[in-house]
Amino acid sequence: MSLHMTLGDITLHRIIEDQSALMPIRDFLPNLSQEVLDAHRDWLAGSGALDPSNDHIVLCFQSYVIKTPHHTILVDSCLGNHKNRPNRPRWHQKTDDHYMTALAKAGISVEEIDYVMCTHLHVDHVGWNTRLENGVWVPTFPNARYLFSNQEYAYWEERSRTEAIDHIIDSVLPIVHLGRADLIESSGAVNDHVRLLPTPGHTIDHFAVTLGAKRDDAVIIGDLFHSPIQMKYPDLFMRLDYDGVQSTQSRQSFLQRYGDTSTLCCTAHFPSPSMGHIKSSPSGYFCEMI
């Protein structure tokens, strides 16, 4: 399995931190019926996205690094180390070297990242924004500007005034307070190769990232879809979706936009190889993995 590929004058790398079974898929996708799960268990398990022994959803946790002719851009910064995550034992105060080793193996240094983009501000997409140094959270990527949706940031900043939200406190607010964040529109562009595509619903202003000089050669979808079964049934929302009706609309319009095109769909959470092309069929859409 290759962890990098070339798309025109862009190179795309996957930086994998973890891949693991999380929880029963019917808890994760609350409107997935037992009947539909039973009908699709075999191919889901075959794709690696389901552990058939206990019907737990299997998720990959990874960043994408995009090298364009002018910039090196990291999309979604995964889980991070030394973070207080008491509700997630696997992520709580972890100290493994998976992420930094994967970055080094790809030949990418933390210094060369020009931009860090977070598709949304959930715990598994912001973790490596910061690292712990002498008891202080500092930017992991010392030369990067961090791009957050202004609407998304405003929502979490407001919530964190009345709630202690660990991942906002340790991985988002320090970046903003150090003046390293740019709050942007979720419909803007970073450069002539990298654009944002609003895909709200999972969070208030979730965005996807499209890549290519003249057309969308690839799209990094963040948490628009968590499981391949949502491509066949885009009305399956995720348990933490901010607005499940809106996320369904975002999934449907995304499938119509990219179905049966040459655009490579790069998912955050589908198990390796995590990337594929969206195809239509009489029974719905599916992702033909590469």
> 188: helix, coil or strand?
coil
Of 118-126, 146-154, 162-170, 174-182, which part binds Zn ion (CB under 5 A)? 118-126
Choose between 10 and 172: whose C-beta lies nearer to Zn ion: 172
Of 123-131, 159-167, 205-213, 231-239, which part binds Zn ion (CB under 5 A)? 123-131
| Residue found under tokens 């990219």 | 258
Q: Please enumerate in sequence order all residues whose Cβ is within 8 A of that of 38, keeping only pairs 6 or more positions apart, or say none.
A: none
- β 181-184/145-149 pair status: parallel
Residues 58, 20: contact at Cβ < 8 Å?
A: yes
Of 26-34, 121-129, 156-164, 194-202, which part binds Zn ion (CB under 5 A)? 121-129
Residue 212's region, left for phi above 0, alpha for psi from -120 to 50, else beta, is left
CB of 256 to Zn ion, least distance (A): 23
* Cis amide linkage into residue 273, ω under 30° from 0: yes
Choose between 55 and 124: whose C-beta lies nearer to Zn ion: 124
Nearest residue to 76 via CA among 20, 133, 141, 143 = 141
Q: Does 152 bind Zn ion (CB under 5 A)?
A: no
Give the count of residues interacting with Zn ion (CB under 5 A): 2
CB of 43 to Zn ion, least distance (A): 23
* Upper half-sphere CA count for residue 258 (Cβ side, 13 Å): 27
Q: Please enumerate in sequence order all residues whose Cβ is within 8 A of that of 91, keeping only pairs 6 or more positions apart, or say none.
A: 79, 83, 85, 123, 124, 127
Helix (H) or strand (E) holding 102: helix 98-105
Considering only 55, 124, 152, 170, the residue that binds Zn ion (CB under 5 A) is: 124
Choose between 203 and 263: whose C-beta lies nearer to Zn ion: 203
CB of 42 to Zn ion, least distance (A): 25
Side chain identity at residue 79, one-letter code: L
Choose between 124 and 205: whose C-beta lies nearer to Zn ion: 124
Choose between 10 and 168: whose C-beta lies nearer to Zn ion: 168
Choose between 50 and 268: whose C-beta lies nearer to Zn ion: 268
Per-residue mark of binding to Zn ion, 62-101 (x: CB under 5 A): ----------------------------------------
CB of 29 to Zn ion, least distance (A): 14
Considering only 17, 55, 205, 223, the residue that binds Zn ion (CB under 5 A) is: 223
CB of 123 to Zn ion, least distance (A): 8
Distance of CA 15 to the CA centre of its chain: 12
57 to each of 54, 108, 275, how far by Cα in Å? 9, 30, 17
Sites of contact with Zn ion (CB under 5 A): 124, 223
